[in-house]
Amino acid sequence: MEEAKEQGIVKFSGITGHHEPDIIAEGLRRYPFDTTLVSINAADKHHPRPFAPTVLPVAQQKNVGVIGMKIPAYGKLLQPGILNMEEAMGYVLSLEGVHCCIVATESVEMLQSNVRVAQTFQQLTQQDMGAIEEKTASVWQENTFFRAWT
């Protein structure tokens, strides 16, 4: 990695993972990565090994950019009675230390909608964050399914 940076082949380095936040945090402690891409959504809060409290403090301490992924859990969090995209994206972007997020889209219309959500983003209050966490408390297992991928 260092050689590639010295040669100008790579400008920034990052670490990513879906499974174990402890591994990402340890990687951030051991190497001066520029970014980390981690699975963070409102349901992850309820997982026994959540990413936000494990990775975000280390990333902040090391001045590492954080990119959130799996924001709507492949749309599973966007079911009626759970969340809408404003809540899903707003939750992640309101976490202290998250700088941006990536969201998969299946159509131009979905992309345009996601861009509108991002453009109108407003930092959520702690009360709003708590309400979103309550909505995901009973569905966290089916919305962190990607944590079991091998």
Decide: helix, strand or coil at residue 49. coil
Domain residue limits at 122: 2-145
Contact 137, 44 (CB under 8 A): no
- The string of pLDDT tens digits covering residues 118-133 is 999 999 999 999 999 9
14, β-bridge pairs: 35
- The string of pLDDT tens digits covering residues 17-65 is 988 999 999 999 999 999 999 999 999 989 999 999 999 999 999 999 9
CATH number at residue 124: 3.20.20.100
Residue 150 located in a structural domain: no
Matching residue, tokens 């174990």 = 20
